[in-house]
A and B are shown apart, each in its own frame.
Chain A
Amino acid sequence: MSTSVRWVPELVSKEKASSLPPRSDRKDADEYVISAQNLSKTYGDVTAVDDISFNVPAGEAFGLLGPNGAGKSTTMKMIGGVSQRTSGQLTIMGLDPDQHGPEVRAHLGVVPQQDNLDEELRVRDNLLVYGRYFGLPMSYLRPKADELLEFAQLTDKAKSKVDALSGGMKRRLTIARSLINEPRILLLDEPTTGLDPQARHILWDRLFRLKEQGVTLILTTHYMDEAEQLCDRLIVVDKGKIMAEGSPASLIREYSTREVLELRFGSERNTTIGAELEGIGERIETLPDRVLIYAEDGEAALEQVSARGLHPLTSLVRRSSLEDVFLRLTGRSLVD
């Protein structure tokens, strides 16, 4: 582990105890399907990824959570062997992707941030042709393509043109395509960005099923709900560095309180009211549009606010989320 990583081993092992063998049984680096040590990537003067280290055991859903420009996509590209690291160690199933690019990629499924489906081919042909890129025989690909179309709920679109599909359908087809080689590791770069809520839920359901089947999922997202839904464990990245690592629940326990009281006093008063709220809850965060009071009991905190004669325009008590963790770690919101 790099010194730059804030590692919370006791919390993680508690969280993972149910689904994976105890961490102490898996010390060997070979046990991890992905192992990154002091990984860095610079483009000229810009450091996109700055000395990060993490390990991912087989079958885990591992998330990279961070704002745009945090270095998530660059990390994904290095894992996929399409971007060469500047320094550090990286092994995918024991192989260095810079040395064994095609061999590593034979076991990867990649869902890029922007769909890059082959618009000149029809839906089913997209799957067949993509499988051919892996050198897979047609006798395997034909039934596999039909199976994946069913998995992606696109069977009746098999002969359609790609540009006739909706955004959600294209995304599902991209995921189906990434599974054509039965990958051991699926890389998903912001899989649900730009999709409507219903399409997101369908997609999450499909990703859950893959996880059940033992596929290791590596996913980047800037949606905290997505990270909470899908990830067993995640790293919070900002400006190329790992800010924290752990399961969603353990991160929330570590860096936030159980509940959050959100108050809105109107845009002019939000920024000045902080002093008057001093002492309520464990911590107060003042944002331009609202004030967040972190407390174990949000309702009790709200009563204290009223007792001081303060009357917010709106108030809301909710559970802490990864958004709060991110705010705590970086002092900024996740989605600007």
Chain B
Amino acid sequence: MSILTEGHSVTEAARNRSFGPLYSRNVKAVVARGLMATKSSNWMVMLSGFFEPVLFLISMGVGLGAIVGTVQGPGGSEISYTAYIAPALLAVSAMNGAVYDSTWNVFFKMNFAKLYQGMLYTSLGPLDVAMGEIFLALLRGLLYATGFTAVMGLMGLITTPWALLMIPAAVLIAFGFASFGMGITSFMKTFQQMDWINFVMLPMFLFSATFYPLSVYPQPIQWFIQAMPLWHGVELLRQISVGVFTSATPIHVGYYLVMIVLGVLLTTGRLRKLFLK
């Protein structure tokens, strides 16, 4: 049996991938690892993540919707309350999935499983790891969004082909939260600090015009909510669900594009600081 073979050609592949100390163009190895781990142990968590917004849709939409009746949707047309909250719940689901993947999951891998330390002792760079983990979060977001959109279709809530665009838009929202979430998690050292994330997420879920229009709030509170990322996601998906677009649409999309760029920069910088110190 030979541990060292002649010529050492196998590692040339790894050597040729090298592209500076941060990135080795091997994101797919990180993604493959995530898929393999999901297959063997994480699928229950994934399943519960899918059902959460569906249960919300049924209880709030069908239950509460019976009392509320119809409300005014984007563009002024009357839509059922269920159809009003469904895209908002999809945005929340995209946020929750991405945040879970990029915060708790990353926190555990970073501090307890020591997974990233192991990865960074190979020819992977921090950028490969960050992009791989974010990609996995997006893949999960894509699955959830597709499933939820299918449920909306089955419940007769989809009235326009534009609604299919909710799927890529949900992935955009997930990308924004995932890239930022991972960067923020890198600052966290204890479980108590991790609880702050929930402390931010829950109010954002409840008050970002998810269940009722923004106009119920006084003006200063409206401004505050409009500065938060989830509101832009809710508005974007709500517009897409009925196919009504306004001058605010590009602002919603732009908000997430900026969030993604800043998030990726933050995450990579932090990973470098943490693991290549």
Q: Are A114 and B114 in contact (CB under 8 A)?
A: yes
Contacts of A136 in B (CB 8 A): 10-11, 13-14
Partner of B10 from the list A117, A147, A182 (CB cut-off 8 Å) is A182
User: Does A110 sit at the interface, judged by CB under 8 A?
Assistant: yes
Binds A, one of B118-126, B219-227, B229-237, B253-261: B118-126
Q: Is there contact, CB below 8 Å, between A133 and B1?
A: no
Query: Known: A103-B15, A129-B29. Is A112-B21 also a contact (CB below 8 A)?
Result: no
Q: Which stretch in A80-88, A221-229, A266-274 binds the other chain?
A: A80-88
A94-105 contact mask (Cβ, 8 Å, vs B): 1 or 0:
000011111101
Q: Are B37's CB and A132's CB within 8 A?
A: no
Check: A31 CB closer than 8 A to any chain B CB: no
B228 at the interface (CB under 8 A from A): no
Taking CB atoms, residues of chain A closer than 8 Å to B8 are 107, 182, 184
B276 contacts the other chain (Cβ, under 8 Å)? yes
Query: When A215-B3, A215-B4 are in contact, do A134 and B118 touch as well, CB less than 8 Å?
Result: no
Quick check: is A214 within 8 A (CB to CB) of the other chain?
yes
Q: Does B33 contact A (CB under 8 A)?
A: yes
Tell me whether A3 is interfacial, beta carbon within 8 Å.
no
Interface-central residue, B1, B3, B5, B36, by most chain A CB under 10 Å: B3
> Do A132 and B14 touch across chains, with their CB atoms under 8 A apart?
no
Known: A120-B41, A129-B36. A105 touches B10 (CB 8 A): no
Please tell me the size bucket of the interface on B: 35 or more
A residues in contact with B119, CB < 8 Å: 133
Partner among A99, A102, A110, A121 whose Cβ is within 8 Å of the Cβ of B124: A102
- Give A128's nearest chain B residue, CB to CB: B36
Q: Which residues of B contact A133 (CB under 8 A)?
A: 26, 29-30, 33, 119, 122-124
Is A118 touching B125 in the complex (CB atoms < 8 A)?
no
Q: Is B185 at the interface (CB under 8 A from chain A)?
A: no
Contacts of A265 in B (CB 8 A): none
Residues of chain A within 8 A of B33, CB atoms compared: 118, 121, 129, 132-133
Given the complex, which residues of B lie within 8 Å of A105, measured CB to CB? 121-123
Q: Flag if B114 contacts A102 (CB, 8 Å).
A: no
Known A-B contacts A116-B118, A214-B4; A129 and B32 likewise in contact (beta carbons under 8 Å)? yes
User: Please, how many angstroms separate the alpha-carbon atoms of A133 and B114 in the complex?
Assistant: 15
A137 to B118, CA, bound (A): 19
- A40 contacts partner chain B, Cβ-Cβ < 8 Å: no
**CB nearest to A119 among chain B residues:** B113
Which among B11, B115, B121, B275 is the interface contact of A182 at CB below 8 angstroms? Answer: B11
A129 CB contacts on chain B under 8 angstroms: 29, 32-33, 36
Residue of B nearest to A134 (CB): B14
A150:B32 contact, CB within 8 angstroms: no
Q: A129-B29, A133-B26, A135-B26 are in contact. Are A112 and B40 (CB under 8 A)?
A: no
Given contacts A81-B21, A83-B277, contact A213 B29 (CB under 8 A): no
A132–B119 alpha-carbon span in the complex (Å): 10
Q: Interface readout for A207-227 with B: 1 if CB under 8 Å, 0 if not?
A: 001100111000000000000
Once bound together, how far apart are the Cα atoms of A181 and B21, in whole Å? 19
Q: Which residues in B have their C-beta under 8 angstroms from that of A252? A: none
Instruction: Say whether B3 contacts A213, CB under 8 Å.
Output: yes
- Chain A neighbourhood of B29, CB < 8 A: 129, 132-133, 135
How many Å from the CB of B11 to the closest CB on chain A? 5
A173 within 8 A of B: no
Q: Let me know if A151 is at the binding interface, CB within 8 A.
A: yes
B124 proximity list for chain A (CB < 8 A) = 102, 133
- Taking a contact as CB atoms under 8 Å apart, the answer to whether B10 and A120 are in contact is no
Q: Does B2 contact A (CB under 8 A)?
A: yes
- A122 contacts the other chain (CB 8 A): yes
The answer to whether B118 touches A118, judged by C-beta atoms less than 8 angstroms apart, is yes
Interface residues of A in 69-87 (CB under 8 A from B): 80-84
Residues of B within 8 A of A127 (CB): none
Closest to B115 in A: A118
Complex Cα distance, B13 from A215, in Å, reads: 20
Question: A108 on the interface (CB 8 Å rule)?
Answer: yes
For A106, list chain B residues within 8 Å (CB). 11, 14-15, 18, 122-123
Q: Which residue of B lies closest to A118 (CB)?
A: B115
A83-B276, A101-B21 known; A213+B2 contact, CB < 8 A: yes
Pairs of residues from A and B, 8 with the lowest C-beta to C-beta distance, nearest first: A116-B114, A133-B122, A106-B14, A120-B37, A101-B21, A132-B29, A102-B123, A134-B14
Given contacts A112-B121, A213-B2, 11 further A-B contacts (CB under 8 A): A82-B275, A112-B118, A118-B118, A122-B40, A134-B122, A135-B26, A147-B3, A148-B3, A150-B1, A182-B4, A213-B4
15 A–B contacts, CB within 8 A, in A order: A82-B117, A82-B275, A84-B276, A102-B21, A103-B123, A112-B121, A120-B37, A129-B33, A130-B122, A135-B13, A135-B123, A181-B11, A182-B4, A182-B5, A213-B3
